[in-house]
């Protein structure tokens, strides 16, 4: 008897254990889809499984209006969640919750009897949570119902809601009320304002398609090395959590350093958070300096700016006050890329009060003085990437991965060094070497050591051409790192603009000055030497510069049929000392040469 009793207890225990095991997965599943388990996530990082989740009262719209929308969605390649007549009960199940949370856009189709179903109201509550927490896009269609009735729960819509609320808890009723009040304030589509229902449906589908395109995550920057570090460094400058102020932010650095790339990434990451946004690219080249009619140039620039930011192609403006009037109450994100004149800023972003609270205006430029003159205090200086990042950048373009192929390690490192870690140089040279064999790399390296790639040179030349003649003279006399005092010593005493010239070319990002020391990127130094070599020898008397190459100096002097000599033959030769300082004015050389020849003639 005892044995039978224990066997019965044992069997019961096994049954209980099996039931617990069977029940636990359901508990876990419910835990996973519990509404309280939503965690904040950006729209770009969340994993979306459907394009659209439609919430509707089936008996009102399923067979006509909704079927026509689905047909138009199919035509435009939009994938909605289809409930396939899911059996509906008192509350929405796990499948629907997952569908709502996995849909990039939720469409709330509010009809007269929408509030008749507790199921629909629970869907709405979940959608509004996803809008707030996940950044889900919510679009509303008021189908034969007044938005005011939805918000105030009046009219026929209110009557239906009150019937549904009978016997329900106060907590549920309040959740539904709040969700309806919020959704009623979203600008939606009113069927009463459309004479043609087919046109309304086509417009809805087009808008959904545009939203999907706009919110699609960009993969353009997936291969960018170090971009996340720049984003982290930029956060304090942007101050996006402070919505009450308008901020202008400068991104400053030399050509090819990656200013525009950083700005584009910022625009892609944050433009969806602003009411209006525009990226005005390559302003320096598209709107060059005009000395004839500055006002007309400003007017044309503001016209294009407004046309793009408010999406109005044939806009016409007759004065420069239009931008301020149109944008003063709008929260906008504006990127003005590669600016080199104050007139350009005056035309598009003269003052912070032109824009609504929370607006951000980002300006990329090589000229720090321009930012200071415009009163921009938030300036992010873009520096060269560290050596390990520079190698990764080069490898991405040369090999399609962040590390060199086996056997190419030392070659890749040497090329990276020759490019001076400049992102533009790394990209251009990396693309040039891509697909070459190791033998071809070794064959090309000697040429790379002594010449610049044409694309890099054209960009550097553009920065050089905008300098004043006096500032060009200063630039052409700096071909390596040097102390400022040392540089100033070797200019003629009557050349009074040395300090000012150094300041100007530093603000143009052509050199960097720190603690009295001048640093020039080796690509810029090689570019300067190339300019000197190309200058006509017939202009020597005008102050042409000789670079620190004894052989080149002798060739120049020889070419003018003045004298032939070897510097190494005379330890007391004054020119040797001049060459060691990296530069000199030929006028000084000729002064010495004249004296040297006269003495020789007297002997």
Give me the helices (H) in 436-507, please: 438-450, 454-465, 469-475, 484-489, 498-507
Neighbouring C-beta atoms of residue 145, cutoff 10 Å: 25
Q: Is 79 helix (H, G, I), strand (E, B) or coil?
A: coil
- Choosing from 72, 122, 123, 126, which is the catalytic residue? 123
CA distance 427 to 503: 29
Q: Which of 471, 458, 540, 555 is nearest to 508 (CA)?
A: 471
Residue with tokens 């224990």: 6
CA distance 388 to 413: 10
Radius of gyration of the chain (CA): 35
Burial of 177 per CB tally in 10 Å (0-12, 13-18, 19+): middle
Q: Is 139 helix (H, G, I), strand (E, B) or coil?
A: strand
Distant-in-sequence, close-in-space partners of 472: CB < 8 Å, separation ≥ 6? 464
SS3 sequence of 197-224: HHHHHHHHHHHHHHHHHHHCCCCCCCCC
Q: Which of 515, 583, 512 is nearest to 549 (CA)?
A: 583
- To the query of whether residue 123 is one of the catalytic residues in this protein, the response is yes
Q: At what angle do helices 342-349 and 294-309 cross, to 10 degrees?
A: 40
Residue with tokens 């100007």: 504
Q: Which of 461, 467, 455 is nearest to 507 (CA)?
A: 467
Residues in the chain: 603
Return the sign of the alpha-carbon dihedral for residues 222, 228, 234, 238.
Answer: positive
Pairing state between β 247-252 and 378-381: parallel
What's the farthest any 2 CA atoms get from each other in the chain?
142
CA distance 61 to 109: 9
Q: Which of 223, 355, 219 is nearest to 278 (CA)?
A: 355
CA distance 523 to 194: 63
Do the beta carbons of residue 453 and residue 460 sit within 8 Å? no
Sheet holding 482-483, edge to edge: 482-483, 517-519, 512-514
Q: Which two tokens stand for residue 578?
A: 């001049």
How does DSSP assign 512-567, residue by residue? EEETTEEE--HHHHHHHHHHHHHS-GGGGGGTPEEES-HHHHHHHHHHTTS----G
Q: Which of 378, 323, 383 is nearest to 356 (CA)?
A: 323
Show which residues are catalytic: 123
């Amino acid at each position: 008897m005892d044995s039978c009793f224990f066997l019965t207890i044992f069997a019961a225990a096994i049954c209980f254990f099996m039931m617990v095991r069977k029940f636990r997965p359901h508990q876990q599943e419910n835990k996973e889809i519990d509404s309280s388990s939503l965690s904040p996530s950006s729209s770009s990082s969340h994993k979306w499984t459907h394009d659209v989740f439609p919430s509707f009262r089936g008996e009102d719209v399923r067979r006509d209006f909704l079927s026509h929308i689905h047909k138009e969605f199919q035509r435009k390649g939009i994938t909605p969640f289809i409930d396939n007549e899911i059996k509906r009960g008192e509350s929405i199940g796990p499948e629907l919750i997952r569908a709502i949370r996995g849909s990039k856009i939720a469409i709330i189709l509010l009809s007269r009897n929408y509030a008749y179903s507790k199921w629909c109201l629970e869907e709405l509550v979940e959608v509004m949570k996803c809008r707030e927490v996940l950044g889900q896009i919510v679009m509303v269609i008021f189908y034969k119902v007044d938005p005011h009735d939805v918000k105030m729960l009046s009219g026929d819509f209110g009557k239906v809601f009150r019937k549904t609320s009978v016997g329900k808890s106060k907590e549920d009723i309040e959740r539904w009320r709040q969700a309806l009040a919020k959704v009623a304030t979203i600008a939606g589509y009113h069927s009463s304002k459309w004479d043609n229902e087919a046109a309304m449906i086509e417009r809805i589908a087009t808008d959904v398609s545009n939203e999907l395109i706009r919110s699609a995550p960009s993969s353009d920057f997936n291969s960018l090395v170090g971009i996340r570090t720049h984003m982290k460094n930029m956060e304090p400058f942007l101050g996006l959590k402070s919505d009450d102020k308008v901020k202008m932010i400068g991104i400053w650095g030399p050509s090819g350093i990656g200013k525009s790339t950083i700005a584009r990434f910022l625009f892609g990451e944050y433009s969806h958070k602003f009411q209006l946004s525009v990226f005005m690219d390559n302003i320096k080249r598209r709107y060059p300096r005009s000395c004839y009619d500055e006002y007309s140039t400003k007017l044309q620039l503001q016209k294009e700016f407004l046309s793009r930011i408010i999406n109005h192609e044939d806009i016409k403006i007759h004065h420069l006050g239009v931008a301020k009037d149109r944008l003063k109450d709008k929260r906008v994100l504006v990127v003005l890329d590669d600016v080199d004149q104050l007139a350009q800023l005056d035309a598009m972003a003269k003052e912070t009060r032109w824009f609504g609270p929370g607006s951000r205006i980002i300006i990329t430029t090589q000229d720090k003085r321009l930012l200071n003159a415009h009163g921009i205090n938030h300036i992010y200086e873009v520096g060269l990437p560290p050596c390990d990042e520079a190698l990764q950048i080069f490898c991405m373009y040369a090999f399609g991965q962040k590390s060199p192929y086996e056997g190419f390690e030392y070659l890749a490192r040497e090329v990276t060094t020759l490019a001076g870690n400049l992102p533009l140089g790394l990209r251009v040279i990396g693309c040039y070497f891509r697909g070459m064999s190791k033998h071809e790399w070794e064959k090309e390296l000697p040429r790379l050591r002594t010449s610049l790639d044409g694309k890099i040179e054209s960009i550097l030349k553009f920065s050089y051409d905008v300098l004043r003649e006096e500032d060009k003279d200063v630039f052409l006399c700096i071909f390596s790192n040097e102390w400022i005092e040392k540089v100033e010593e070797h200019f003629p005493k009557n050349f009074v603009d040395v300090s000012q010239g150094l300041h100007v070319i530093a603000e143009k990002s052509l050199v960097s000055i720190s603690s009295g020391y001048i640093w020039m990127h080796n690509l810029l130094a090689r570019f300067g030497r190339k300019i000197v070599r190309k200058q006509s020898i017939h202009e020597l008397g005008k102050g042409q510069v000789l670079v620190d190459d004894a052989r080149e100096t002798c060739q120049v002097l020889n070419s003018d049929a003045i004298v032939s000599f070897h510097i190494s033959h005379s330890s007391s030769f004054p020119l040797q000392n001049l060459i060691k300082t990296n530069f000199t004015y030929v006028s000084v050389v000729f002064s010495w040469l004249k004296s040297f020849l006269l003495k020789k003639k007297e002997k």
